[in-house]
Structure 1
Amino acid sequence: MKQIVCFHLFNDYSGSPKVLNMVLKGLLEKGENIELVTSKGGVLDELNSHPNMKRYSYSYRFSTNPALTMLRYSWVQLYTFFYAFRYIFRKNTVFYINTLLPVGPALAGRLMGKRVVYHYHENAFAKGVFYKALAFCMQKLAHEIICVSAYQASFLKRKKGVTVIPNALPTEFVSRLHPDAEAAFNRKTVLMLSSLKEYKGTREFIELADRLPQYKFVLVINDTQENIDKYLSDNKITNIKGLTIYPRQADVTSFYNAASVVVCLTNPQLAVETFGLTTLEAMSAELPVIVPTEGGIAEMVENGVNGFKMDVQELDEIEETIRRMLTNSDLYLSLSVEALSHSAAFNEQAMLQRIEDVVYGNK
C-alpha cells in the first residue's frame, strides 16, 4: 500500500488549502494513511484529530516586506527539502505537492526516486518571473500534474502527465447552505470574499458599495483585523453606508445564506483566476454571480444564464448589472435556478476518485 506525504506551504483559509482539506479528508475516510507537512493555524488544522493523520508543522506567515517574505519562503524550502529525506527508506511513498510553492520537497522527492504529484492551483504565467520559474520546476519534477481548469492547463508547455480535475465542494459544506431564491432576492445583499491584494478588486468593491447605498455590501477579507484597519487607513477609506467588512473567517456558509449576489472582481490585467471556489460556493447556495471574463473561473459561468462575465475595468456596467439583478425578480430567479443547476456538475466524490487515481498512478 502506498503512503501519501503531503506538503503545503501556507495553511490559511484561502482556496487551495480548503481544497486540500477536502481531498485529504476524503482519502482519510477511505482508510488511507497520510502525513501532512504544513504551517500552523488554518483550515488544515481540522485534520489534526484524525487517527490516520500524522501532522508536522512549522511557523510561517507572509509579510508586507517582499524581501522578508522571500527569506521566510526560502527558509521553509530548505527546511522541507532536508526534512523530506526522512522518507528515503520508505517504499511506495508518494509526495503530494499542493500548489507550486513547495519546490524544496518536490526536488528531494525526485532525488530519492519518489513519485511526485503536483496539485497546481495557480496560473504562474499570469504572475511574475518567480512563479514562472516555479512552474518550470514543476514541469520538470512532477510525474503527474493536476490542473483545476482547462484554461490553466493550456499555458503549460508539458502536455503529457497533465490531468484537468475541476474543484468541488465538500458535501458537509453544501449541507449547511440554505438555497432560497425568493428570500435571497429580498435581502438585497452583495457579497465578496477577497483579500487585500490589489488585483483582487477590494478597492473596486468598496467603490460599488459607495455608488449603491440602497443595497447592503458585505466584504469578507482573508486577513487579520489589524491589517484590514491599516489598509483602510492607508487608503483613506472611511465609513461607507451599507458596507460591512469582516476579517478572516473559519466558516463562511452564514455569509452565503445571507447574500443575494456574489461577485469576484479580480483584475485580469494583474492576475487571472484559475478556478473560482467562492463562485462555486455561491452557485451551490443558489446565488447568481459576477465573475471576470478570463480564466478558469469564466468556464463556470454562462453569460446571462447563471451569472455574468464582466471586467472590473467596466465598473459602470457592473454597477448597472447589480442594480438590474436586484430589481428584476424574474431575471434574478432565472439566474438563481441555473446557478444551482450548474453547481451540481462539480461533484465531490467524482473529484476525489479522479485525484486518488492520479496520485496512485491508476488513471
Structure 2
Amino acid sequence: MRAAFVTPGAYPVPAPRGGSVERVVENFVPLLADRLEVCIYGRTAKGLPRRGMLHGARCERLRAPGKRAYLSGVLAGLRAYRPQLIEVENRPRLVPLLKRRFPGARVWLHLHSNTFISGKAISPAELRACLGAADRIIVNSRFLKADVERRSPSLASKLGVVYPGVDPVWFGAPALREHLRIAQGWQHRQIVLFAGRLIPLKGVHHLLAALPALVRRHPNMLLVIVGSPFYGSSRTSAYSRKLLRMARPWRRYVHFEPYVSHDRMPAWFGMADVAVVPSLRREAFGLVNVEAMASGLPVVACRVGGIAEIVEDGVTGFLVDPRRLTAELPDRISQLLDDEALRTRMGAMGRERILERFTWRHTADRWLAELERDVGSGRP
C-alpha cells in the first residue's frame, strides 16, 4: 500500500525549529516504512532537497510562497504518486477536497489538537461535513476523541486514538548533567523547568506568581523558562514582555532562554530537577510531558485535556486543579524539591511509563492497528 501524509505546510520535515505536527510526522511515519510505501508532503527549507528520504520515508518538499501554491503542489504530487491512503494532518477542510480529487483513495484526518475544529476556526455545519467526509479520524488523546464525539456524535465509529511519543534514548541520557550545570554556574541550584511556547494558554504567569512562595521555602531554587512566543524564533510578544516584567523583582531566581532548537532540548531537561507544565486548557496531549518523563523528571502539571492520560498523579508526578493553581502549584513543586528520594522515584516511574506506552514505536504500532481496523471494516 502507498500512503501519503500531507502536513500543513507551515514548517519543513524534519522541523528542527518548531512545528509539533511536523515533529510527530517525522518521527512515526518512517517507522511505517517496513510495512508500507510512505511519502511525506511538506514545505521546503534552506539546506533541504526538494525530494529525499527520511529514515525510509520518501519526502516531497514544496517551494510554495502561500497556502494555495502549497496545496496545488501537494495535489500535483498526489496525482503522480497515486496513493491508496491519504492522511491529512490537522486540517479538516482539506478532507472533502481530497475525497473529490482522489475518489479511489482512503482519506484520513489526523487531529493533533482541537484548534482547527473549534468554533473560531470552522462553523459547526462545515465541521460536520469535513469530518463526515473522512474515512477515519485519528486523534492524539481520549480527551480529543471525546471532544470530536461531542461535536459530531455520529462519528464515534470512525475515531481512533494514536498517542504521540518520544525517543527515550535521545531524551534519556543525563550523563552530562553536572557538566552542563557547572557550565551555567548552576551546580548548587535546584532547577524547576518550564519548556514551551510563551503564550497565555501555557500558564507561565501562574508559575511566576508562585515564585515568591517557592523562593521563601527554597532559596537556592532557579526557575528556568525555555521557549518563546513563536516557533523557531526569539521574537517577543506583549505576553512574553509581561512575563519579563513579572520576573524582574526575582531575577536572581529566574532564567529565560528565549529559543532552543529541539535537538538541544535534552540537555535542558537533563539539567533540571522538576518539570512544570501549567497549561490551563485545551492541551490535547502535550509532547513536553513525555519528553520530561523520558528524561527521568517528575512532572507537575494541570489536570486539563489529555495531560491526565500521560502524567499519573502521585506516581510519575502531580496533577493540580487549574482552579486552585495559586495554592497547589507551589505546594506540589515544594514537595518535590524537599524530597530527593521522591523526585528520583517519580522520575524513574515516569521513564518506565514512557518505555511501556509512549515511544514512537508505540505510535507507529497504534497507527498500524487503526489501518487494520479500517481495512477490516469492509467499507469501500
TM-score (norm 2): 0.76
Tell me the amino acid that sits aligned with residue 21 of structure 1. E
- Give the letter for the 1:56 counterpart: R
Residue aligning to 1:107: 96
Structure 2 unaligned segments of length 5 or more: list them: 182-186
Q: 1:319 aligns with which of 330, 343, 362?
A: 330
Distance across 1 between alignment mates of 2:168 and 2:243 = 39
Cα gap change, 1:171 to 1:139, in 2 (>3 Å): same
Equivalent of 1:141, from 128, 133, 136?
A: 133
Are 1:36 and 2:40 matched, yes or no?
yes
Of stretches 275-284 and 214-223 in structure 1, the one that deviates more from structure 2 is: 214-223
1:121 offset after TM fit, Å? 1.2
Deviations 1:79-131 (A, max 9, x none): 516741553475443211112x2633x33320021211122111359944315
Q: How far apart, in 2, do the equivalents of 1:194 and 1:294 lie?
A: 16
| 1:245 matches 2:250 | no
Structure-1 separation of matches of 2:203 and 2:261:
19
The alpha-carbon distance between structure 1 residues 216 and 59, as it changes in their structure 2 partners (threshold 3 A), is: farther
What is the distance in 2 between the residues matched to 1:278 and 1:288? 12
8 Å CA contact retained: 1:5, 1:96: yes
- Quote the residue 2:367 is aligned against: 355
Letter paired with 1:262? A
Q: What code does the residue aligned with 2:165 have?
A: A
CA separation of 1:25 and 1:290: change in aligned 2, threshold 3 A: same
CA contact (8 A) 1:148 1:164 kept: yes
What secondary structure, in the 3-state scheme, does the structure 2 residue paired with 1:321 have?
Answer: helix
Contact 1:4 1:94 in 2 (8 A): yes
Q: For residue 65 of structure 1, what is the aligned residue in structure 2?
A: none
Alpha-carbon distance between aligned partners in 1 of 2:57 and 2:311, rounded to the nearest angstrom: 38
Q: CA RMSD in A?
A: 3.6
- After TM superposition, the structure 1 = structure 2 runs for residues 46-65 of structure 1, keeping only pairs within 5 Å, are 48=52, 50=54, 52-58=57-63
Q: Which runs of 5+ in 1 are unaligned?
A: 61-74
Query: Scaled by the length of structure 1, what TM-score is found?
Result: 0.79
Partner Cα separation in structure 2 for residue 278 and residue 262 of structure 1: 9
Letter in 2 for 1:274: A
Contact 1:194/1:202 (8 A) holds in 2:
no
Amino acid at match of 1:219: I
Percent identity reads 18
Answer whether contact 2:85 2:107 (CA < 8 A) is retained.
Answer: yes
AA in 2 matched with 1:20: V
> For the structure 1 residues 337 and 236, does the alpha-carbon distance in structure 2 shift closer, same or farther, using more than 3 Å as the test?
closer
Q: 1:159, 1:297 → 2: CA distance?
A: 22
Change (3 A) 1:131 1:204: farther
- Provide the rounded CA distance (Å) in 2 between the counterparts of 1:232 and 1:173: 29
Deviates more, 1:107-116 or 1:221-230: 221-230
Measure the CA separation in 1 of the matches of 2:131 and 2:120: 15
How many residue pairs match? The answer is 341
1:322 positional shift: 0.9
Deviation of residue 312 (structure 1)? 4.0
Displacement of 1:141: 2.3
**C-alpha contact (below 8 Å) 1:290/1:309 kept by paired residues:** yes
Counterpart code for 1:84: L
Letter in 2 for 1:355: W
Q: CA deviation at 1:295?
A: 1.7
Match of 2:280 in 1: 267
- 2:112 and 2:284 in contact (8 A); partners too: yes
Which deviates more from structure 2 when the two are superposed, residues 274-283 or residues 1-10?
A: 1-10
